Amino acid sequence: MSSHPQLLDVPGLHDTAEVTRRDTARFIAPTLASAAWLGGAAITQWWPDLDDWPYTRELLILKLALAAFCALIVLGGWRQRASTQTDDSRTNRWLAAAPWLLALALGISGWEIVTAKLEWLPRPFFAPPQALIAVYFDDFPRLWTSVVHSLGLLVYGYALGALTGFSVGVSIGWSRAVGYWLHPVLRFIGPLPATAWLPLAFFFFPSSFSASVFLIALASAFPVAVLTWSGVASVNSAYYDVARTLGARPSFLILKVAIPAALPSVFVGLFMGLGASFSVLFVAEMMGVKAGLGWYLQWAQGWAAYSNMYAALLVMALMCSGLISLLFLFRDRLLAWQKGLLKW
């Protein structure tokens, strides 16, 4: 008989300890992120730049604000943990995003060190982060005008292309006669990149704006048409038989049976068309339009204002990501039964 006392195996004790360890580990990343932002602020404040860069003070304030924000995430998480009756999903999302906040702090500090502090990267091709802040402050009117112009051009072209592609896709998927004539044209023109039509578009259309709208519409119409056609053609024929038995007319079959059943495929085409329209938008603006983010990029490159170019690229990324997120939000509301099946 052993003289050592045996530990009791309490059911759930090890599971509870494991959950507690995982719960505590969630606060490591935001704590490190807060410390990293504070460290980056110390670098900005006490490590002198090799050149006198403007808006360094604003960069310092931004880092301190982000450090305080990360500390608030930690505080909110601990308060949620202490209260067993609340489960703040917003706090949980920020806790999950804390590793990215940490990586962002390290990345910006490293970027500042190799540019403003040590100048290891050649100028003017590489600018420090405070140079981007200077662009957003000093050149905001021109940059904002470019964003508004690009959004207007994109909305015109994408809406026209989506409506055209949707109509063509429904027509081909529903009518064999229409499909006989339109399907070969779609297969012939659709795979060509929209930018290949650039010389003809600027020749036949009266203005660079209308030519750009046509190119964007052409780029977005093809994937919408193909996916809509595929969705309508794949609708179960039993749905039509049941509707006809109940006395449904062809218009009812199209509007109430075919189109709703094809909507998941339609939205896939809308996502693909939106991505294609972005690339055509910026190319068209670089070639002939006198305003917009594409024009702004070309202007910045011509004047070797690379900080302006990087600032515009960041705005482009946010704009594209935001519009796709809005389209996903609309899809999840319209197709609530398929929420979460398509990720972004």
The answer as to whether 108 is a domain residue is: yes
Last residue of a domain, one of 96, 123, 150: 123
Q: Which of 195-199, 211-215, 281-285 has the highest mean pLDDT?
A: 211-215
The answer to whether residues 96 and 20 belong to one domain is yes
The answer to whether residues 159 and 119 belong to one domain is no
Residue 156 corresponds to which tokens in the numbers above?
């015109």
Q: Which amino acid is at 277?
A: S
The answer to whether residues 144 and 291 belong to one domain is yes
The answer as to whether 343 is a domain residue is: no
The answer to whether residues 45 and 118 belong to one domain is yes
Beta strands in 232-290 (DSSP E): none
CA-to-CA distance for 230 and 223, rounded, in angstroms?
11
The answer to whether residues 214 and 333 belong to one domain is yes
Higher pLDDT, 285 or 330: 330
Q: Residues 143, 307: contact at Cβ < 8 Å?
A: no
Q: What is the pLDDT of residues 131-184, one digit of tens each?
A: 999 999 999 999 999 999 999 999 999 999 999 999 999 999 998 899 899 989
The answer as to whether 5 is a domain residue is: no
Angle, in degrees to the nearest 10, between helices 306-334 and 293-302? 160
The pLDDT confidence band at residue 193, using thresholds 50, 70 and 90, is: confident
Q: Residues 55, 130: contact at Cβ < 8 Å?
A: yes
Higher pLDDT, 261 or 60: 60
- The CATH code of the domain that includes 177 is 1.10.3720.10
The pLDDT confidence band at residue 65, using thresholds 50, 70 and 90, is: very high
pLDDT at 117: 94
pLDDT at 1: 45
Q: What is the pLDDT of residues 304-316, one digit of tens each?
A: 899 999 999 999 9
The answer as to whether 161 is a domain residue is: yes
Q: What is the pLDDT of residues 79-120, one digit of tens each?
A: 877 665 555 677 788 888 999 999 999 999 999 999 999 999
Q: Residues 227, 269: contact at Cβ < 8 Å?
A: yes
pLDDT at 19: 47
Structural element, H or E, at residue 306: helix 306-334
pLDDT at 21: 61
Please count the structural domains in the chain. 2
CA-to-CA distance for 181 and 278, rounded, in angstroms?
30
Angle, in degrees to the nearest 10, between helices 89-112 and 56-82? 150
The answer to whether residues 118 and 152 belong to one domain is no
The answer to whether residues 18 and 162 belong to one domain is no
pLDDT at 245: 87
In 10 A of CB 226, how many CB atoms? 23
User: How remote is the C-alpha of 92 from its chain's centroid?
Assistant: 21
In the block, tokens 């702090």 appear at 105
Which residues are within 8 A (CB) of 7 and not within 5 positions of it... i.e. 6 or more apart?
none
- 132-135 own/partner pairs: CB under 8 Å, 24+ apart: 132/307, 132/310, 132/311, 132/314, 133/55, 133/58, 133/59, 133/62, 134/53, 134/54, 134/55, 134/307, 135/307, 135/308, 135/311
Nearest to 160 by CA among 216, 217, 222, 220: 217
Instruction: Kindly report the average pLDDT of the chain as a whole number.
Output: 86
The answer to whether residues 215 and 178 belong to one domain is yes
The answer as to whether 4 is a domain residue is: no
HEC per residue, 164-195? HHHHHHHHHHHCHHHHHHHHHHHHHHCCCCHH
The answer to whether residues 170 and 206 belong to one domain is yes
pLDDT at 242: 87
Last residue of a domain, one of 123, 149, 164: 123
The answer as to whether 175 is a domain residue is: yes
The pLDDT confidence band at residue 199, using thresholds 50, 70 and 90, is: confident
In percent, the amount of the chain with pLDDT more than 70 equals: 89
Q: Residues 218, 162: contact at Cβ < 8 Å?
A: no
CA-to-CA distance for 165 and 216, rounded, in angstroms?
12
Stretch 241-250: mean pLDDT: 86
The answer to whether residues 100 and 166 belong to one domain is no
Nearest to 299 by CA among 143, 164, 153: 143
Nearest to 171 by CA among 250, 271, 269: 250
Domain that holds residue 32: 13-123
- What is the residue-wise DSSP string for 115-166? IIIS--SPTTTS--HHHHHHHHHHSHHHHHHHHHHHHHHHHHHHHHHHHHHH
The pLDDT confidence band at residue 7, using thresholds 50, 70 and 90, is: very low
The answer as to whether 217 is a domain residue is: yes
The answer to whether residues 274 and 157 belong to one domain is yes
Last residue of a domain, one of 123, 153, 182: 123
In the block, tokens 């990215």 appear at 100
Stretch 181-210: mean pLDDT: 85
The answer to whether residues 102 and 188 belong to one domain is no
The answer as to whether 3 is a domain residue is: no
